[in-house]
Amino acid sequence: MTSNHSDCHYCLQSLRGRKYALKEENAYCVRCYDSLFANSCEECKEPIECDSKDLAYKGRHWHERCFKCTKCSRSLVEKPFAAKDELLLCTECYSNEYSSKCFHCQKTIMPGSRKMEFKGSSWHESCFVCQYCQQPLGTKPLITKDNENYCVPCFEKQFAHRCYSCKKVITSGGVAYHDQPWHKECFVCAGCKTQLSGQRFVSKDEYPYCVDCFSKFYAKKCTACKKPITALGGAKFVSFEECQWHEECFNCARCSVSLVGQGFLTKQDAVLCHECGSS
């Protein structure tokens, strides 16, 4: 502005007919004002004179001509920009350097646009859809198969196994028995209904039984100890005519010597070694 003040507050030279600048209601000639108060430009390090536009961002200052993208040098005046490690970047350069890329289309997810994140990867909202029905997944429950995401109804329709017992979809876990899938909670003993997942069991006529029920209903009884004979754990037994023995029970009825692998004689329901049977 042209001075109506008489003198520069600093150098005391007359301001009559000269340009000046005000600072705290005091008038300064242009030279004094620039030397005393002008900010230094971050880019060129020269003072930003009072007749130049001073652009400020977070306490830092630039000439209008110096306020540009660090990477591509395009002007940022009156344009959106971002800062990274104190460097100014236009949105395009910032996106190319630092923004996430969509897992589906591999294009940059621009700053300010909505981003979906799942298992460490990012998607455009429009790309985060069910692979089968192509409907947006948003925050709905989903299931991943072969790096593709599916809404629960589509996954169940396309891939899920159905329980052999209750016919409902098995969404996680499950047990395979006779090449058929079962819910863990449905895989129970055909006799007492106790869950068999992780337990020892015996199969009979395609139905699973716990050891106790199988022994109770189907296992043959040892002729000597009358306890059930099962093949669990590789247990061995001896069979002769209509009788069966645990291997450890197949002993001479008189002297108790083991008859496994030995000749023996029978006397009514008893088995005897040759020595006892001949005496």
- List the chain pLDDT tens, one digit each, 279 residues: 544 568 888 889 888 888 888 888 888 888 888 888 888 899 998 888 887 888 999 889 999 999 999 999 999 998 988 888 888 999 888 877 777 888 888 888 776 678 888 887 888 988 999 989 999 888 888 888 888 899 988 888 888 788 888 888 887 778 888 888 888 888 889 888 888 888 888 888 788 888 878 777 777 788 888 887 775 545 678 888 878 888 888 899 888 898 888 888 888 778 888 888 877
Query: What range does the domain containing 195 cover?
Result: 174-217
Instruction: Indicate the burial class of 149 (C-beta count within 10 angstroms; 0-12, 13-18, 19 or more).
Output: buried
Q: Is there a contact between 89 and 96 (Cβ–Cβ < 8 Å)?
A: no
Please report whether residue 199 resides in a domain: yes
> How far, in Å, CA of 87 to CA of 66, rounded?
13
pTM: 0.36
| Domains contained in the chain, number | 4
Are residues 104 and 90 part of one domain? Answer: no
Q: Is residue 14 part of a domain?
A: no
> Same domain, yes or no, for 130 and 149?
yes
**In this structure, are 137 and 200 located in the same domain?**
no
